[in-house]
Amino acid sequence: MSDLARYLAPLLDKPLTVICTHVHFDHAGGLADFHDTCLHCQEIDLMKRGDATAALYDPAQATLYSGDVVYDGELIDNAQGSVPDHYAASMVRLARLAPRLVHPGHYHSFGTERLHSLVTDYLAGQRAPACPASA
């Protein structure tokens, strides 16, 4: 495994702060390589399961970094420690946003229309397991 901080250093002209959306190994595994890190900020926290996971929204760029809150694949709300009511509340909050671009923690990026489709389908209980979705 390579040192991502060392790879990024020559590409950046500003200081880098890494914000980890949650502590699953596939999202937080490389934090030790960075000097300035933080776990999500509580004021932007969206609860997905019993553990906290964050989504970061940049209104100036109309960009949502959704971590594991929403992505274009099977939306898992039944893992051990999950709290589906919290996840549904997060989906309601996401439905109020209109990001131009969503960068999820898994799969490909997508826009507002797909975000709203994923949210609507999930809340309607129609989200079929598919990894990743083809739409």
Query: Is 134 within the bounds of a domain?
Result: no
Global pTM reads 0.67
Q: Tell me: the pLDDT tens digits for 30-80?
A: 777 777 777 655 434 454 444 556 788 888 899 998 888 889 988 777 777
Query: Is 68 within the bounds of a domain?
Result: yes
Q: Tell me: the pLDDT tens digits for 108-120?
A: 999 999 999 999 9
Query: Is 36 within the bounds of a domain?
Result: yes
Burial (Cβ within 10 Å: 0-12, 13-18, ≥19) of residue 117: middle
Query: Distance (Å, rounded) from C-alpha 23 to C-alpha 9?
Result: 24
CB atoms within 10 A of CB 26: 9
Query: Is 27 within the bounds of a domain?
Result: yes
Q: Tell me: the pLDDT tens digits for 5-32?
A: 788 888 888 877 777 766 666 666 677 7
Domain of 108, in residue numbers: 4-123
Instruction: At 55, list the tokens.
Output: 């989504």
Which letter does DSSP use for residue 130 in this model? -
Query: Is 129 within the bounds of a domain?
Result: no
Query: Is 31 within the bounds of a domain?
Result: yes
Query: Is 131 within the bounds of a domain?
Result: no
CATH number of residue 74's parent domain: 3.60.15.10
The structural domain count of the chain equals 1
